[in-house]
């Protein structure tokens, strides 16, 4: 079958890759472009490990046809850090011991990132709602919820300082 | 039809590691020319923090900053032999092997430094910040990096250590069958509060209170992390998870995460933990490690709490609404056991 040329923005950089018809975004990100930050867990949309943002909205990359991101903006957890400076979410996950095996972390971070972009000062319930599509085996979720709330506070503080 | 509150208790004496075949663990430590130390292991960190804890143990034993130690869990082809990461054995078995390897590396480090400073190695000490000095004369010192470079490029010696930890083999008494399978136990007690809906059979765990005796908590935040996550898994095993819901009939088993039920972030249970530290004599710096017993006592405590709430004794897991409803029907309704 003919392969299709696909161009999109990946974490603020141009990405261009040839894809097979029907290829999943997760395969194209990991194997085609080499961004190994999104994880493939269940490959059927029930674990959330592959969560990426497309035009700022969380999507399950394992259920997304790669060709649908043509010309769009894809963000993965690999693009969260600014050089050596971790994103406040990454810092909060680290300081709050919100990761153990780490397999869910990339998806959790992106689900949280989408929430904080939309709701900068979320309630505990809103955080729980935002990550309810992401499975975690290790943490019992509580440290993750706490870390996202801590990151929200940190980011609010940063915004106040910049004003 | 009503919601019934129940409270259940369970205690556990949990064996650290196993003694079959002596349960050996090995570690290799060597210095690199930039004054850092590399610890090679074949036990794998699954997220429980073994890399962090063995790094702390190595740094403490060699006498260098924790930042100057790397832990490489390699693989079973290239690393020193290890039985693996299971049986709550990581901190205790692997940690003990690391202490031995690190102690040998420290000895060689001090010998190399002694040659450079022209003193006896026994007169030297480390400051834990990357320096080696003459005891009582901190001015006469050499850095760990200078020492490892001198060893490598001038003295032609390695700063390395080998360690193995092996539990004394325990034979079986032919008359009584008695043996000593375990040399080190950790302990815990746990109280579960929950509610049972006698109309739907659904259980909601409302609170966990626990006390864990894990020897010394070598990394208290990691211990807490394990206990919180492990208790969550215990609740999940007690009430939800199974691959064979009608065992031994294999039908109707889950085929994916939509059918393999687990609690989500909306079902976080408040968990109050008391970590009791009673350093174990044969454990690395006294630390036994929390391990599997993070999850285990939760299961009987939940079963006891369900019995306490509605008088239904479930002796198979998970304790599903179906089993509770069948029990309620057999008993002719809920029989709350009351608080004692």
Tens-place pLDDT, residues B191-247: 999 999 999 999 999 999 999 999 999 999 999 999 999 999 999 999 999 999 888
Task: Name the fold adopted by A88-162.
Answer: DNA polymerase; domain 1 (1.10.150)
Domain shared by B188 and B264, yes or no = yes
CA-CA distance, A99 to B240, in Å (whole number)? Answer: 23
Query: Which chain A positions have a beta carbon within 8 Å of B230's beta carbon?
Result: 140
Q: Which residues pair with B229 in a beta bridge?
A: none
pLDDT digits (tens, 9 = 90+) for B277-325: 999 999 999 999 888 999 999 999 999 999 999 999 999 999 999 999 9
Mutate to test the interface with B, among A41, A140, A143, A146 (most CBs of B within 10 A): A140
How many helices (DSSP H) and strands (DSSP E) are in chain A? 5, 5
Q: Which residue has the tokens 């000062």?
A: A121
Residues B76 and B200 in one domain: no
- 8 Å CB contact between B9 and B81: no
CB contact under 8 A, B229 and A44: no
> Closest Cα partner for B147 from B137, B132, B162, B135?
B132
The answer to whether B111 touches B160, Cβ cutoff 8 Å, is no
> With bands split at pLDDT 50, 70 and 90, how would you rate the model's confidence at A163?
low
Q: Which residue of B has its CA nearest to A102?
A: B47
pTM: 0.93
Helices and strands: H and E segment counts in chain B: 6, 11
pLDDT at B14 over 70: yes
Reported as type and span, the H/E element at residue A54 is: strand A51-54
Distance CA B242, CA B255 (A): 11
Q: Could you state, in order of their start, the residue ranges of all structural domains in chain A?
A: 4-79, 88-162
Region A4-79: CATH code: 3.10.20.30
Which ranges in B135-254 belong to alpha helices (H)? 144-150, 220-239
- Co-location of B291 and B313 in the same domain: yes
Residue of B nearest to A130 (CA): B265
Does B170 reside within a domain? Answer: no
- Pairing mode, strands A73-75 and A4-10: parallel
User: Which residues lie below 8 Å from residue A12, measured CB to CB, with a gap of 6+?
Assistant: A79
For residue A6, the surrounding DSSP H or E stretch is strand A4-10
Contact state of A97 with B222 under an 8 Å Cβ cutoff = yes
Q: Verify whether the Cβ–Cβ distance A143 to B271 is below 8 Å.
A: no
Q: Are residues B140 and B212 in the same domain?
A: no
Quickly count: other Cβ atoms within 10 Å of residue B227's Cβ.
Answer: 25
Report yes or no: B185 and B12 within 8 Å, Cβ to Cβ: no
Nearest C-alpha in B relative to A141 = B265
Torsion angles phi and psi, residue B44, rounded to 5 = -105, 140
Instruction: Using CB atoms, pick whichever of B229, B257, B258 lies closest to residue A139.
Output: B229
Smallest Cβ distance to B232: which of A128, A132, A140? Answer: A140
Query: For residue range A54-82, what is the model confidence (pLDDT) as tens digits?
Result: 999 999 999 999 999 999 999 999 999 99
Given the DSSP bridges, would you call strands B203-213 and B271-276 parallel, antiparallel or unpaired?
Answer: parallel
Report the CATH number at residue B58. 3.30.365.10
Whether A29 and chain B come into contact, CB under 8 Å, resolves to no
Domain count, chain B: 2
Longest dimension (CA), chain A: 54
Q: Does A43 touch chain B (CB under 8 A)?
A: no
DSSP B167: P
Q: State how far the Cα of A141 lies from the Cα of A127, in Å rounded to an integer.
A: 11
How far does CA B279 lie from the centroid of its chain? 14
Please tell me whether residues B76 and B38 are part of one structural domain. Answer: yes
Of B138, B165, B192, the position where a domain reaches its end is B165
Q: Sign (positive/negative) of CA torsion B275, B277, B283, B287?
A: positive
Short-list B301, B302, B215, CA closest to B17: B215
Helix (H) or strand (E) holding B321: helix B321-331
Is residue B157 within 8 A of residue B92, CB to CB? The reply is: no
Q: Which two tokens stand for residue A132?
A: 């309810």
Report residue B29's pLDDT band, with 50, 70 and 90 as the boundaries: very high
Residue B178 lies in a domain: no
Number of cross-chain residue pairs from A and B with Cβ atoms under 8 Å apart: 62
Provide, as residue numbers in chain B, all residues whose Cβ is less than 8 Å from the Cβ of A141. Answer: 232, 264-265, 268
Chain A contact set for B239 (CB, 8 A):
none
In the numeric block, which tokens belong to residue B149? 């470079």
pLDDT, mean of residues B250-276: 93
Q: What is the mean pLDDT of chain B?
A: 94
User: If you search the block for the tokens 């850092």, which residue do you land on?
Assistant: B36
Residue B176 within a domain: no
Residues B49 and B158 placed together within one structural domain of the fold = yes
- pLDDT, position B169: 82
User: Between chains, do A139 and B258 touch, taking CB under 8 Å as contact?
Assistant: no
Provide the shortest C-alpha distance from residue B295 to chain A (in Å). 11
My answer on whether B227 and B145 are in the same domain is no
A109-113, B28-32, B173-177, B199-203: least confidently modelled range: B173-177
Which residue in A95, A153, A96 sits closest to A123, CA to CA? Answer: A153
pLDDT band at B273 (very low <50, low <70, confident <90, very high): very high
Phi, psi of B11 (to 5 degrees): -130, 155
Contacts of B46 in chain A (CB under 8 A): 100-101
Give the helix ranges, DSSP H, for chain A.
Answer: 25-27, 88-95, 105-118, 124-130, 142-162
Q: Give A10 to chain B, closest Cα distance, Å.
A: 29
Cα distance from A94 to chain B (closest Cα, Å)? 11
Whether the CA torsion B209, A150, A111, A51 is positive or negative: it is negative
CB B318 within 8 A of CB B242: yes
Contacts of B262 in chain A (CB under 8 A): 135
**Could you tell me if B90 and B116 lie in one domain?**
yes
Dist CA B247 CA B268 (whole Å): 29
Cα A162 → chain centroid: 25
Query: What pLDDT is recorded for position B243?
Result: 93
E strand residue ranges, chain B: 3-15, 25-31, 37-40, 69-72, 124-126, 131-134, 137-143, 160-165, 185-197, 203-213, 271-276
Shortest Cα distance, chain B CAs vs residue A9, angstroms:
31
Same domain, B73 and B154: yes
Tell me if B201 sits within 8 A of B324, measured CB to CB.
Answer: yes
pLDDT score of B181 more than 80: no
Contacts of A44 in chain B (CB under 8 A): 256
Query: From the CA atom positions of chain B, what is the Rg in Å?
Result: 26
Helix axes B298-310, B321-331, angle to 10 degrees: 40
Chain B contact for A18 (CB, 8 A cutoff): no
**Domain span holding position B132:** 25-165
What are the C-alpha distances in Å from B122 to residues B75, B129, B181? 36, 19, 39
Closest to A148 in 3D by CA, of A134, A162, A160: A134
Out of A46, A97, A127, closest to residue B225 by CB: A97
Report the residue of chain A nearest B234, measured CA to CA.
A140
The CA distance from A62 to B78, in Å, is 35
Domains A4-79 and A88-162 share a fold: no
Task: Tell me the chain A residues in contact with residue B259 when contact means C-beta distances shorter than 8 Å.
Answer: none
């Amino acid at each position: 079958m003919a392969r299709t040329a696909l161009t999109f923005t990946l974490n603020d950089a141009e990405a261009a890759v040839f894809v097979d018809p029907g290829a999943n975004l997760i395969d194209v990100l990991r194997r085609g472009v080499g961004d190994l930050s999104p994880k493939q867990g269940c490959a059927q949309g029930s674990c959330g490990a592959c969560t990426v943002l497309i035009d700022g909205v969380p999507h399950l990359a394992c259920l997304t046809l790669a060709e649908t991101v043509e010309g769009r903006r894809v963000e993965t957890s690999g693009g969260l850090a600014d050089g050596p400076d971790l994103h406040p979410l990454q810092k909060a996950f680290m300081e709050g011991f919100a990761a153990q095996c780490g397999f869910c972390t990339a998806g959790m971070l992106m689900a949280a990132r989408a929430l904080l972009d939309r709701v900068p000062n979320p309630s505990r319930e809103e955080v729980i709602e935002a990550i309810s599509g992401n499975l975690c085996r290790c943490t019992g979720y509580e440290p993750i919820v706490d870390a996202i709330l801590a990151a929200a506070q940190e980011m609010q503080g940063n915004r106040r300082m910049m004003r | 039809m009503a919601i019934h509150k129940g409270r259940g208790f369970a205690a556990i004496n949990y064996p650290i590691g196993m003694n079959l075949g002596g349960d050996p663990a090995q570690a290799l430590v060597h210095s690199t020319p930039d004054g850092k130390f590399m610890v090679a292991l074949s036990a794998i960190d699954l997220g429980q923090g073994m890399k962090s804890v063995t790094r702390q143990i190595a740094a403490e034993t060699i006498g260098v900053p924790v930042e100057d130690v790397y832990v490489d869990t390699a693989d079973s082809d290239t690393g020193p032999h290890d039985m693996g990461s299971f049986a709550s054995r990581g901190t205790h078995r692997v940690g003990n092997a690391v202490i031995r390897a690190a102690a040998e590396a420290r000895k060689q480090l001090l010998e190399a430094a002694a040659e450079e400073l022209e003193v006896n190695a026994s007169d030297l000490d480390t400051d834990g910040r990357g320096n080696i000095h003459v005891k009582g004369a901190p001015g006469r010192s050499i850095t760990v990096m200078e020492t490892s470079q001198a060893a490598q490029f001038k003295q032609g010696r390695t700063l390395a250590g080998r360690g193995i930890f092996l539990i004394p083999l325990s034979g079986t008494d032919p008359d009584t069958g008695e043996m000593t399978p375990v040399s080190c136990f950790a302990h815990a007690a746990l109280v579960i509060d929950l509610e049972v809906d006698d109309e739907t059979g659904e259980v909601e765990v409302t609170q966990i209170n626990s006390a864990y005796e894990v020897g010394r908590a070598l990394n208290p935040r990691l211990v807490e992390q394990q206990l919180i996550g492990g208790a969550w898994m215990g609740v999940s095993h007690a009430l939800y998870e199974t691959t064979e819901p009608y065992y031994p009939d294999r039908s109707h088993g889950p085929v994916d995460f939509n059918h393999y039920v687990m609690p989500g972030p909306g079902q976080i249970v408040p968990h109050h933990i008391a970590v009791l530290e009673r350093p174990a004599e044969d454990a690395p710096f006294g630390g036994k490690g929390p391990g599997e017993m993070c999850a285990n006592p939760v299961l009987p405590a939940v079963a006891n709490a369900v019995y306490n709430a509605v008088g239904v004794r479930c002796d198979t897991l998970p304790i599903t609404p179906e089993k509770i409803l069948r029990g309620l029907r057999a008993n002719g309704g809920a029989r709350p056991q009351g608080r004692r």
